[in-house]
Amino acid sequence: MSELALMDDRQRRIRSRNRALLLLLLGVVALFYLIALVRLGVWS
């Protein structure tokens, strides 16, 4: 594998990891929002 291809692969991995982290953070925020709604009896 050439050094150039390895660098591309590295960039691709970093990008996909950042996207996954963003999705995870959004998921956690949504989860806490929904839990709060249920616990407060707004959505029962």
Q: Which parts of this chain interact with other proteins (CB under 8 A)?
A: 1-4, 6, 10, 13-14, 16-17, 20, 31, 34-35, 38-39, 43-44
Residue placing its CB nearer to other proteins in the complex, 16 or 26: 16
Residue 40 Cβ, how far from other proteins at the closest point, in Å?
A: 12
> What span, in angstroms and rounded, lies between the C-alpha atoms of 42 and 44?
6
Task: Determine the Cα–Cα distance for residues 23 and 30; give it in Å rounded to an integer.
Answer: 10
Could you tell me the two tokens for 35?
């839990």
Radius of gyration of the chain (CA): 19
Q: Find the shortest distance in angstroms from Cβ 44 to other proteins.
A: 7
